[in-house]
Amino acid sequence: MSAEDLEQAAQRITEDVAIAAAASKEDSSYDWWKVLFALYPGAKPTHHSRQRDRGVMRSQTAAILGPDPGEGQVHPCVFCGQECTVLWTKSTLPLFDTAKTINTLPPKTLGWPICHGCRLAMWALPYGAWLTAGSATVLTCEDPQVEWAFVTRNVKRANRIRQLGFNRLTDGVGPEAVALRALREHAVHNPVAATLWMFKNDNQEPWLKVVSTRIGTTRFLQRMLSDPACREGWQDLKRTLHRTDAAGRTVVDGTTALARLLFDPQLAPRDRLVAELFKRSTAVETVLRRKVETWRSLVAVYLEEMHAVDTEQLKPLARMVARWIATESSRGRFNEYRRVAGSAYPLHKLLMAVSARLYLDGGEPGDVTAAVVEDLLAAGANGWRLRALLWFEVLAELGRLGVSLSGHEEDPDEEEPTRFDDPLADVDERDEEYV
């Protein structure tokens, strides 16, 4: 960027800060001050003792973001290495110091050396971050186009917040769906992972939360969108997770809630999508058969892309369990299987009993290799994933056998699926296109 570009950026940021800092609490511009306060709580424009005068706030902010005066000892910028003389402390750096009010700096130093460009970048952060009144979320990814797409959406949203405040945004919408759309659009040929950094800078209790997708997420999204049954399963779960209040206002956006299931907490990978589908499908009496079938497709594609699971290996075992359930006392036998479906040792005992019963009745137990059974009954996440897949395969096989577990005939028109323009679109996206 040229010096003129930096000057224009400084003027834009300075003016926005001055307007927000001088706004009354009833003014929509005050919400932008809340954003600034969450990131720079000790800076003069965000301090509670600030003067509510736009001119004063403009001059104070300009002093923070102005060019390097070139006076005093020269140091390399802590971020980019460029020579500079300006030293910054906690009050102007988001989440760059301690959890205490008192700053902790390197010995015999008065602050962190920050060059002009990096100072502007720090205060430009809210424009490209996903914002709430108390936090900001940024994305990092090895594909710069994914980062660009994420920032582009957030710039539109930030403009809306500055103009209209948070009240004009839909509740329950988050950055996860935005990140998934960026991956879907730009990481097609070179799958990459994306990481969301959610943080709040605070004088007393700052916090940082980090969640990431897996590299297989992009391939999963591509297959999900191209497979009709899998896509329908995604839409079904999206509708199930969507929540509105009595007035019809969105409380939880279904796209965001579903996208969030594909992000794992740092150092704690979990298959939250599979867990959510498994939990909701156990009340199978209240779930339409078609929905169960589409959820099975969704689980299978997820496991194939995320964990390279051979989803065909469990079908002989699923057919064996389904035949046993269908033979007699279907509901009782199904409940017996449902109670143990997610647990290794109880499921092991049941499978032995099922094999013995089918053998004594003149049938043939499932043709399943010892390695498959060993993996299925293993402790830990790998075994649990296979047991969840087996559950859905058994449900699908029962459907093919015509076994009804609900006690009533299903009406194919009972639940007409809602059609969405884009399975990854959130409820706020269209409203922001005008900005």
Q: Using one digit for the tens of pLDDT, what is the confidence trace for 261-271? A: 999 988 777 89
**Final residue before a domain boundary, out of 212, 238, 265:** 212
Residues 339, 200 share a domain: no
pLDDT band at 435, cuts 50/70/90? very low
Q: DSSP label at 199? A: E
pLDDT band at 49, cuts 50/70/90? confident
In a domain, 391, yes or no: yes
Mean pLDDT in residue range 214-221: 94
Paired tokens of 80: 């980019």
- For 306, other C-beta atoms within 10 Å of its C-beta total 21
In a domain, 154, yes or no: yes
Q: What is the pLDDT of residue 203?
A: 63
In a domain, 197, yes or no: yes
> Residue 111 in contact with residue 123, Cβ under 8 Å?
no
Residues 165, 32 share a domain: yes
pLDDT at 408 > cutoff 70: no
Mean pLDDT in residue range 13-30: 94
Q: What is the pLDDT of residue 358?
A: 79
Q: Angle, nearest 10°, between helix axes 116-128 and 30-39? A: 120
- Strand, helix or coil at 296? helix
- Dihedral sign for Cα 220, 141, 1, 43, please: positive
Lowest mean pLDDT among 45-49, 280-284, 308-312, 402-406: 402-406
**Final residue before a domain boundary, out of 172, 195, 212:** 212
Let me know if 373 is exposed, middle or buried by CB neighbors in 10 A (0-12, 13-18, 19+). Answer: middle
pLDDT band at 42, cuts 50/70/90? confident
- Residue ranges making up the domain that contains 326: 307-406
In a domain, 356, yes or no: yes
pLDDT band at 108, cuts 50/70/90? confident
Mean pLDDT in residue range 32-51: 88
In a domain, 290, yes or no: no
In a domain, 64, yes or no: yes
**Final residue before a domain boundary, out of 212, 240, 258:** 212
In a domain, 418, yes or no: no
Residues 313, 184 share a domain: no
The rounded percent of the chain whose pLDDT value lies above 90 is 61
Q: What is the pLDDT of residue 433?
A: 44
Beta bridge partners of 207: 200
Please give the tally of structural domains in the chain. 2
pLDDT tens readout for residues 142-165: 999 999 999 999 999 999 999 999
In a domain, 298, yes or no: no
Mean pLDDT in residue range 309-328: 92
pLDDT band at 397, cuts 50/70/90? very high
| b (16+ CB within 10 A) / e for 208-244 | eeebbbbbbbbbbbbbbeebebbbbbbbbbbebbbee
Q: What is the pLDDT of residue 223?
A: 94
Q: DSSP label at 213? A: -
Selection from 309, 130, 146 nearest residue 220 by Cα: 309
Radius of gyration of the chain (CA): 28
pTM above 0.75, yes or no: yes
